[in-house]
Amino acid sequence: MTTSKNIIHQLHQQSTYGRIVIDARTIPWTAPSWLPLPAGKVIDLAFDVTGVLLAVATVLPQGRSAIRVYDWDMLEAADLQYRRRCEGETAILSPVIDLALSSIAFLKWNPFQPDVLAVGIRNTGTVRLYDMGIVAEWGDRRGHIPFVELKTNLVAPTDFSVCFVTGTQMILAANQFLSCWDIHSNRAIRKWTCDLRRRVTSLVAFNDQGRMAVGTINGMIAILDCNRLSKQPFSRELTPTVLKEFNTLREIDSSPSPQYMGIRGLSVDRLGPPGWLQLRWVTSCGWHLSAQFDGNRLKMEPTCIHYTTARMQCENARGVLLPELPNAWSMPGHPKVCVGQLPQALFWENVPAVTQILPGHDSRAEGDDVCRYVRSDYKRFLLWRKHDDPKVRRIPLSKSKGSPVCFAIHPGLEWIVVATEQDQLYLINSRAKMTV
């Protein structure tokens, strides 16, 4: 896709605040600032690769959706103004681009072409690629804003995501189906398809190797070779070679059921020896895991556990604490967590500790006995782990502002932006002091 006039270049030139980098040490860590947004429920956030633009997907009160793109300079200035004043609220921020759509599922910037934004449309199962430079210049022109569309042949897929491999090639995942597309200026051509027979929840490319890792809903990781294509019997479609599949739960002695261990936010880091990689991910119930992968021998080391939810406690009717139950963990009501961009492992785990209270005075329930489950009061935290730090650290949040809906990390790793249920942005300085 070509850009007639680069919007990022425009913002660099026209920025009121001159792209001045604000050192975290110059901002006192008092109260985090909450920046109000125009009406609507935020469902996704995404920074472009340069950190100049922040795209916000919003569901409007009328049932429609919109993409609002903000100049990050303006958000930084509003945050700095709030911290210096520390009283009242700032005015509602105005976006530099406001694009009305319907049924937005996700946003993803192309890291190789900074102006190109991929938008998942859930009700049609399609992905649209918009050139935001063209969108910004469209103004009041008649007709539809041009875009490139990728079709999945699925209506309202449950799991829906994309991965950019190069500037002109991307992988699209919709439920259990994968497809590779070559992107041209005004159209997209499907290169191959693959049916993994399990819902795909996360995928990451190994870049120059032509390989990629695909995480599924039941804790499996499949390694695909996208350079080795073949045809299935009685089919004209090309499909990549599945080199190997790994069950990430096999080496864990005590873990929740696979339905809670779906792989989210899969990322890859290169290690010292050639061919060695480290895969990291967050499960649907809020566990943070990693494993080393030997690409030369296609072997994965045992899974390393960095963070788990609390174990379920058990009490009898007298309030006496009983021994822990095997494989009994505190689980969320809906097994899905928010996962931020990596290489920083940032995720939101909203799982209070659960206590099982037995109806009798003994240590087990029998027959038609019904146990009670009590969820403890808990503080709200974002959980953060850097790739070179084995500890998972906590970033405290306020209960009064509602639970996080989604969040994004600035490419400079200095800021974390959190959208809450109350249509506000929560700006956190990542260099501030965190609790362990």
Of 21-30, 82-91, 237-246, least confident by mean pLDDT is 21-30
Q: What is the domain range of residue 414?
A: 1-158+400-436
Coil, strand, or helix at residue 366? coil
Number of domains in the chain: 1
In contact, 400 and 379? CB cutoff 8 Å: no
- The residue assigned the tokens 């006039």 is 5
d(CA 37, CA 75): 11
Residue 233 CB contacts under 8 Å (≥ 6 apart), including other chains: none
Coil, strand, or helix at residue 336? coil
Write the pLDDT tens digit of every residue in 332-343.
766 556 665 545
pLDDT band at residue 346 under the 50/70/90 scheme = low
pLDDT band at residue 23 under the 50/70/90 scheme = very low
Look at residue 358 and tell me if it is in a domain: no
- DSSP codes, 139-177: TT-SSPPP-EEEE-S-SS-SSEEEEEEETTEEEEEETTE
- DSSP class of residue 81 equals H
State both tokens at 184.
């041209």
Other Cβ atoms closer than 10 A to 93: 17
Write the pLDDT tens digit of every residue in 63-85.
789 999 999 888 888 777 766 55
d(CA 280, CA 291): 7
Average pLDDT over every residue of 266-287: 86
Give me the half-sphere count of Cα atoms (radius 13 Å) on the Cβ side of residue 262: 20
Q: What pLDDT does 128 receive?
A: 95
- DSSP class of residue 264 equals E
Global pTM value: 0.82
Query: Higher pLDDT residue, 314 or 383?
Result: 314
Write the pLDDT tens digit of every residue in 304-328.
888 888 888 888 777 777 777 767 7
State both tokens at 102.
């319907």
Look at residue 246 and tell me if it is in a domain: no
d(CA 89, CA 35): 8
Look at residue 314 and tell me if it is in a domain: no
- Beta pairing, strands 313-315 & 354-357: parallel
Look at residue 259 and tell me if it is in a domain: no
If DSSP states are collapsed to H, E and C, what string results for 88-134? CCCCCCCCCEEEEECCEEEEEECCCCCCEEEEEECCCCEEEEEEHHH
Look at residue 11 and tell me if it is in a domain: yes
Give me the residues paired with residue 58 across strands: 42, 66
pLDDT band at residue 15 under the 50/70/90 scheme = very low
Query: Higher pLDDT residue, 207 or 176?
Result: 176
- Beta pairing, strands 263-270 & 276-283: antiparallel
- Res 135 pLDDT > 80: yes
Look at residue 377 and tell me if it is in a domain: no
Residue 187 CB contacts under 8 Å (≥ 6 apart), including other chains: 148
Give me the half-sphere count of Cα atoms (radius 13 Å) on the Cβ side of residue 73: 16
State both tokens at 362.
């003994």
What distances in angstroms separate CA 374 from CA 246, 315, 398, one per listed residue?
Answer: 36, 11, 23
Other Cβ atoms closer than 10 A to 26: 8
d(CA 61, CA 201): 29
State both tokens at 47.
């920074």
d(CA 297, CA 406): 37
In contact, 195 and 181? CB cutoff 8 Å: no
In contact, 214 and 222? CB cutoff 8 Å: yes
Look at residue 69 and tell me if it is in a domain: yes
Look at residue 371 and tell me if it is in a domain: no
| CA angle in degrees (0–180, nearest 5) for 245-177-335 | 75
Other Cβ atoms closer than 10 A to 73: 18
- Res 364 pLDDT > 90: no
Residue 423 CB contacts under 8 Å (≥ 6 apart), including other chains: 36, 37, 39, 40, 41, 42
Coil, strand, or helix at residue 322? strand
In contact, 282 and 265? CB cutoff 8 Å: yes
- The residue assigned the tokens 């996700």 is 106
The per-residue b/e assignment along 286-301, b for 16 or more CB within 10 angstroms, e otherwise, is bbbbbbbbebeeeebe
- DSSP class of residue 311 equals B
